[in-house]
Structures are given as structure tokens and as C-alpha cells.
Amino acid sequence: MTESLAAPAVPADRSPLIASISCFTFWGLLPILFIWADRLGAGAMEIVAWRIIWALPWAIALVLVAGQGGHLRRLPRHTLAALLLSAALIAVNWSIYVWAVCSGHTISASLGYYLNPLLNMAAGAVLFKERIDRPGRIAIALAAVGVALQGWALGEFPWVSLGLAFTFCGYGIVRKSAVVEAQTGLLVECMILVIPAAIYAFLLHRAGHGVFGTTPMVSLVLALGGPSTVIPLALFAFAARRMPLTAIGFLQFIAPTLQFMVGVETGETMSPLRAFSFLFIWAGVLVFVVGAWQKFRVQRRA
């Protein structure tokens, strides 16, 4: 399988494969940073606010390094409108994710990102009239059973998992319609979100509830939210331009798998029924990956 993924994409240079694996590993281990900040006294929304604030200078640097500074001046009005919507969606996604991790729901968060590629497939069929093949239908059906069992195991609607999956899926749909480079788009989104984030951080600090600036350690951990947001995106953008999307599709499940492991390691509840629900999710992922791999091999032969 490694040969099928790496060889056709990067016959002489494995750096895109390394960048892709690094990106998804980075995203998979990101909950550790948020849990650390939470234990130092930062609330979920303060973490999100400083993540946005510190992402802005890193996003500016990324755009300058990529030589895309001129793109900002040429963005059409409809693209700006799309980025306004995508900024709102990613802000909601980040807020749910950080709250989930800080509240001991990292496993539920991982479920959301396991569901995301399957939800993308369903959205493609509904919105863009894309055809779902038989493995795709089986994968979606298995995931639906897994979500239902997850809700039963939790005793409540799995809003964290579905909220993350739907907001990120919506974000992807909007960004698909916005003709803009990934780096430039992230910078515009940060510019849109930084004002409300800065206002929130200022008011929180003024009320005496903010922890940024109280100790060097907590300030450093909150400031790390910036590069931890931008660096994985840069790695992903680098890999996406040089690897088949199918290969990236295989590797993207590294992130929720690591998130799941972080949740288990930090002592989150894993009842037998909840574990059983994940068997359906993983079965759906396996069907999805095998189906995509088969299509990839057929395309190579053609």
C-alpha cells in the first residue's frame, strides 16, 4: 500500500508524503495543546480568541513567503463574501472543538473528523450531483449506524461530533466555491475574525478573568495556538499540490485516530456500547479507504 501511495506521486522526492503525514499528525496531537492551556486556567473561548490573534501574524508571514501578497488586492467582492461565511463557519468549528477537548469530549471530537470525508461524499451527491458508488453508500450507512449508537451510548444527541462534521463540511463547500489560495484565504479569515477575538480577549482581561499575561508559561501556550493553526495548513497546501487527492484521503484519518488516542489516554469514558459504535465508524472508514484505493489503481492503469 505504501508503494501505491508514494511511488506514483513522488518518485524521487518523498517530501510531499512527509509533509502530509506531518500535517495530519500535527492536527491529531493538537488537543494536547488545548488540554494544557485548559489546565493552566484558560477557558475554551479565551483559547480560541488567542488562537485567532496569534494566527494572524503567522498567516501574514505565510502569504509573504508564498509570494501571494498581491492576491489580497485582487480579491473580487463575491470571494470576500464567501470568505466572510467561511470565517464564521471555521470560528464555530474551532469553538466547538476547543470546548469539546477542554471539557473531556476529545473522543466525540475525533468522531466528527472520522465522519467528515463521508459527509463530504454525501454533500457532493446532494449539492454537486456527484455519483456515490457502492462502497461509498456502504460507508455512509455504516457511519450512520455508528452515529446512532454513539448517541445511544452517550444518552444524548451527539451534537459535538455532528456539529464539528457539519461545520467543517460547510467550510469546505464554501472554500471550494471561493477561488482563492489556501494561504491567502486563511489570512483573510484571520483578518475578519481578529477584531471580535481581540475585543473578547480585552473584555475578558478587563473583567479579571483572562489568564494571558499572568505567567510566561500560560502566555506561551496560548501564543502557540497561532503557529499550530498555520503551520499544518502550510504543510497541507504543499502536499496537496504534489500528491494525488486519493493518497491524501488515505492519510487524513491519521488525525482523528490520534485524537481518539489522546481522548483515551486522558481518561475519557469508553463504555462497551460506545466502543461498539466506533467499530461501525472504523468499518465505514475502511470501506471508504478500500474503495478509494481501488479507484486510484484503476485510474493509474487507465
Secondary structure (H, E, C), 37-94: HHHCCCCHHHHHHHHHHHHHHHHHHHHHHCCCHHHHHHCCHHHHHHHHHHHHHHHHHH
pLDDT range class, residue 218, cuts 50, 70, 90: very high
Residue 8 inside a domain? The answer is no
CA 15 to chain centre: 22
Number of domains in the chain: 1
Residue 97 inside a domain? The answer is yes
What DSSP assignment string belongs to 176-201?
HHS-S-HHHHHHHHHHHHHHHHHHHH
Residue 2 inside a domain? The answer is no
Cell numbers found for residue 84: 466572510
pLDDT tens figures, 68-97 = 777 787 888 888 999 999 999 999 999 999
How much of the chain, in percent, has pLDDT values that exceed 70? 91
The whole domain housing 249 covers 14-301
- Calculate mean pLDDT across residues 202-218: 94
Residue 1 inside a domain? The answer is no
Residue 232 inside a domain? The answer is yes
pLDDT range class, residue 166, cuts 50, 70, 90: very high
Dist CA 4 CA 116 (whole Å): 24
Nearest to 108 by CA among 260, 257, 280: 260
Cell numbers found for residue 85: 461565511
Residue 3 inside a domain? The answer is no
Whether the predicted model's global pTM rises above the 0.95 cut? no
pLDDT tens figures, 273-300 = 888 988 998 898 888 878 777 776 776 6
What mean pLDDT is reported for the chain? 86
Residue 62 inside a domain? The answer is yes
What DSSP assignment string belongs to 26-38?
HHHHHHHHHHHHH
